[in-house]
A and B are shown apart, each in its own frame.
Chain A
Amino acid sequence: MLAFLARHEWRLLTADAVVRLVIVVFGAALAGASFLGVLRGAREQRTFEAFAARASQQRAQPSAVRADVFANDQGVLALLPPAPLGRLAVGQSDVYPSYIKITARHLDSLVTGDQIEHPLAVASGHFDAAFVILFLYPLLIFAVGFDLTATERDRGTLRMVLAQPVALGDIIAGKMIARWLLLAVPAVVIPMLFGVGTEPALLGVWMIAVLAYGLVWHGLALIVNARGWNAATNALVLAGIWLLFAVVGPATINLLITVVYPMPSRVEAAVQARAATQEATVQGSRQLGQFLQDHPTSANVGREGMRQFALLQAARDKQIADRLRAVESAFDVQLDRQQRLASWLGVLSPTMIAQQVLLECAGTSATRFHHFDRTAASFQRQWQAYFQPLVLDAATLTGAEIANAPTFTYSEPPVSDRVRRVVPAIAGMMLVGAALLFLGFRHYRGYAL
């Protein structure tokens, strides 16, 4: 009976021109966003490969390069490969750098890790599959679900139906199944088609997360319908719920977070960082002047002189690194506090929860970039440990020394770790969705005809 009722409802829905339009818009938006994601992914891959090629060329250069030139002036780029599923969600990849210049002095991300995205794009967000799922999907669930029974009741069709040997619960279940299928199928299948051949396990988790997210919104629609209001009131209430949970709620939470834990000014930080660099440069120039005064001709500099100069430079570099670290740590501390508060307050909005899950699956969450940062910092220590003695010795590098230098390879955290991180959120959404559906069906028992 349930299958029959769902088929009947499907037929009614697909016979409705507005519903057909809704589905076309949803499908086109998802396909368009996913296609743009594929193009973006290919562009990121090309950029990554170009940087990687440049790095290998650098290594292949002839020997007889001064150690400080190779280790500090040229340095090496730590590159984060594009996440294969990143095509479905831009996430934090427009905020965090996916390359960090490594030198034997320090991590150079704050000063030279420049913002390559257009600021407007960063502010308004990208049009990607995650955006369509997070914002458009719930809106369309409400668009096809605001009038589950209200018009049929008001026109009298529901009385005709319920005069037959069928329970109201079955009628409602049939309507819900049809509406769920109508939107869940494109929501799952279209991004899946564009994500095939990437990371099957994470793609599977993405799909389950989308279904769980949809369940929450379907549950909300059911509860509002069960109140017995007319269709216009249902639409108004559901639009309000969407605004609250998907737009106003997350914006308020973000505002609250920035009020409670304000971030130091990034401009101020950059100014401080540049000031530190500049002061050190001035100091370095004075040291160089003094050095040249002490060694008026190049003939009397000698290897020992160069070593002394390298020591002076190292002391200056340490000063810069310390000052930069102080500026960066002010950011890191606040960012950490903000993220902890966000993870607590985020449970108030299904959109924020789902966003975290989808970005985690796509590999564009802050977690991956932090992991990349830590890996790059660890590599920087290796690079420094390898080159600093050579720099202080004012050495000229041999081919073997260049070949034996540490190389950066980013190894992704195990997929199981990422899955483990999102399972509680998905389970939570499923539980909330199931509870809302249960309450909705219960409220429908007292539905007045």
Chain B
Amino acid sequence: MIEAVRLTKMFGGAAAVDAVDLTIKAGEIFCLLGANGAGKTTTINLFLNFIAPTAGEARISGLNVVEHPLETKKRLAYIPEQVMLYRNLTGLENLRFFSRLAAAAVDDDRELLGILSQAGLTDAQSRQRVSTYSKGMRQKIGIAITMAKRAEALLLDEPTSGLDPKAANDFSVLVTSLAKSGVAILMATHDLFRAKETGHRVGIMKHGRLVEVIDTTALNHTDLEQIYLRHMHE
């Protein structure tokens, strides 16, 4: 479970994240929409404990990320816009490194290759150096790290940005399957279509505040776009 309780982050006098309350249950995909600078990435950074909150709490599986930084990181995975791995290592070697770093139960190369295969990489691709990978292939390694780690929560920061439609769709399918396996997912994105298709709920952020939370089953793509634009024009 991913939880924010009155989560606030001030930079100077300005609130980047302003008293956000949020609960994402296991198996749920919550998409965070908002303009650049709305506070989406700052919210993710707060959950990752890369920055400390000014007030409120960020929790992963009920644990405060500031008080239990290592425990919460054992339970969460993170996929940024660009999954930047060690270029001189192969995909398999990268996955092995991150799995061991996370003290993941999966350690055996055969199992790791199996996970990479589930993420959409062939054995041959997994044994290639990451320097030869496309962005989509690197994102798949990010998914594989999440799977190997058996994360309970996944934070995604504009993961499909720059991917071609097929790669973006493949990625969404993988994210959906992770949610089905019980992972709570918070995905910051600009892609309204993907948010509607993948997310169970969508939250719209503006000036650090979560101004509206919408159930995606209750509306179509056009409705979502209109609601989003209305908030942006207010």
How many residue pairs link A and B with beta carbons under 8 A? The number is 59
A163 part of interface (Cβ distance < 8 Å): yes
A38 to chain B, nearest CB (A): 38
Query: Which parts of B57-93 form the interface with A (CB within 8 Å)?
Result: 69-71, 73-74, 76-78, 80, 82-86, 88-89
A165 is contacted by which of B70, B82, B85, B142 (Cβ under 8 Å)?
B70
A16 part of interface (Cβ distance < 8 Å): yes
Chain A residues positioned under 8 Å from B86 (CB to CB): 12, 157
Once the chains are docked, how many angstroms separate the CA of A4 from the CA of B82?
Answer: 25
Q: Across the interface, do A165 and B73 meet the contact criterion of CB distance under 8 Å?
A: yes
- Tell whether A160 pairs with B88 under 8 Å between CB atoms, given A4-B100, A166-B101: no
Chain B residues positioned under 8 Å from A165 (CB to CB): 69-71, 73-74, 101-103
Chain B residue nearest to A166 (CB atoms) is B101
B50 part of interface (Cβ distance < 8 Å): yes
Q: Across the interface, do B80 and A160 meet the contact criterion of CB distance under 8 Å?
A: yes
Once the chains are docked, how many angstroms separate the CA of A165 from the CA of B97?
Answer: 13
- Tell whether A159 pairs with B71 under 8 Å between CB atoms, given A12-B89, A164-B98, A165-B102: no
Once the chains are docked, how many angstroms separate the CA of A12 from the CA of B93?
Answer: 11
Once the chains are docked, how many angstroms separate the CA of A156 from the CA of B85?
Answer: 8
Please classify how large the interface on chain B is, using the bins under 10, 10 to 19, 20 to 34, 35 or more: 20 to 34
Once the chains are docked, how many angstroms separate the CA of A159 from the CA of B155?
Answer: 12
Q: Across the interface, do A164 and B84 meet the contact criterion of CB distance under 8 Å?
A: no
Q: Across the interface, do A16 and B48 meet the contact criterion of CB distance under 8 Å?
A: no
A161 part of interface (Cβ distance < 8 Å): yes
Once the chains are docked, how many angstroms separate the CA of A163 from the CA of B79?
Answer: 9
Q: Across the interface, do A15 and B74 meet the contact criterion of CB distance under 8 Å?
A: no
A449 part of interface (Cβ distance < 8 Å): yes
B165 to chain A, nearest CB (A): 24
Chain A residues positioned under 8 Å from B77 (CB to CB): 163
A157 is contacted by which of B48, B76, B84, B142 (Cβ under 8 Å)?
B84
Chain B residue nearest to A158 (CB atoms) is B84
Complex interface bits, A5-16 against B, C-beta within 8 A gives 1, otherwise 0: 000100110011
Once the chains are docked, how many angstroms separate the CA of A16 from the CA of B82?
Answer: 23
Q: Across the interface, do B97 and A159 meet the contact criterion of CB distance under 8 Å?
A: no
Chain B residue nearest to A5 (CB atoms) is B101
Query: Which parts of A1-40 form the interface with B (CB within 8 Å)?
Result: 4, 8, 11-12, 15-16
Please classify how large the interface on chain A is, using the bins under 10, 10 to 19, 20 to 34, 35 or more: 10 to 19
Once the chains are docked, how many angstroms separate the CA of A159 from the CA of B50?
Answer: 8
Q: Across the interface, do A16 and B88 meet the contact criterion of CB distance under 8 Å?
A: yes
Q: Across the interface, do A164 and B101 meet the contact criterion of CB distance under 8 Å?
A: yes
A182 to chain B, nearest CB (A): 16
A161 is contacted by which of B69, B74, B101 (Cβ under 8 Å)?
B101
B46 to chain A, nearest CB (A): 13
B68 to chain A, nearest CB (A): 10
B92 to chain A, nearest CB (A): 13
Chain B residues positioned under 8 Å from A156 (CB to CB): 80, 82, 84
Chain B residues positioned under 8 Å from A16 (CB to CB): 88
Once the chains are docked, how many angstroms separate the CA of A4 from the CA of B104?
Answer: 14
- Tell whether A163 pairs with B85 under 8 Å between CB atoms, given A4-B100, A8-B97, A449-B50: no
Once the chains are docked, how many angstroms separate the CA of A16 from the CA of B155?
Answer: 32
Once the chains are docked, how many angstroms separate the CA of A123 from the CA of B108?
Answer: 61
Q: Across the interface, do B78 and A163 meet the contact criterion of CB distance under 8 Å?
A: yes
Chain A residues positioned under 8 Å from B89 (CB to CB): 11-12, 15
Chain A residues positioned under 8 Å from B73 (CB to CB): 163-166
A167 part of interface (Cβ distance < 8 Å): yes
Once the chains are docked, how many angstroms separate the CA of A140 from the CA of B50?
Answer: 32
Query: Which parts of B15-41 form the interface with A (CB within 8 Å)?
Result: none
Once the chains are docked, how many angstroms separate the CA of A162 from the CA of B88?
Answer: 19
A155 part of interface (Cβ distance < 8 Å): yes
Chain B residues positioned under 8 Å from A162 (CB to CB): 48, 50
Q: Across the interface, do B84 and A160 meet the contact criterion of CB distance under 8 Å?
A: yes
Query: Which parts of B128-157 form the interface with A (CB within 8 Å)?
Result: 142, 155
Chain A residue nearest to B74 (CB atoms) is A165
A14 to chain B, nearest CB (A): 10
B88 is contacted by which of A15, A161, A163, A449 (Cβ under 8 Å)?
A15
Chain A residue nearest to B70 (CB atoms) is A165
B48 to chain A, nearest CB (A): 6
B85 to chain A, nearest CB (A): 7
Chain B residues positioned under 8 Å from A164 (CB to CB): 73, 98, 101-102
Once the chains are docked, how many angstroms separate the CA of A387 from the CA of B46?
Answer: 92
Chain B residues positioned under 8 Å from A12 (CB to CB): 86, 88-89
A163 is contacted by which of B48, B71, B82 (Cβ under 8 Å)?
B48
Chain A residue nearest to B78 (CB atoms) is A163
B99 to chain A, nearest CB (A): 9
Chain B residues positioned under 8 Å from A4 (CB to CB): 100-101
Chain A residues positioned under 8 Å from B82 (CB to CB): 155-156
Once the chains are docked, how many angstroms separate the CA of A8 from the CA of B88?
Answer: 12
Chain B residue nearest to A4 (CB atoms) is B100
Contacts A155-B82, A160-B85 aside, 12 further interface pairs with beta carbons under 8 A come to: A4-B100, A11-B89, A12-B86, A157-B84, A159-B48, A159-B84, A160-B84, A160-B142, A161-B98, A162-B48, A163-B78, A165-B73
14 residue pairs of the A-B complex, CB under 8 angstroms, read A11-B89, A157-B85, A157-B86, A159-B78, A160-B80, A163-B48, A163-B77, A163-B78, A163-B155, A164-B102, A165-B71, A165-B101, A167-B69, A167-B70
B residues sitting closer than 8 Å to A (CB atoms) are 45, 48, 50, 69-71, 73-74, 76-78, 80, 82-86, 88-89, 97-98, 100-103, 142, 155
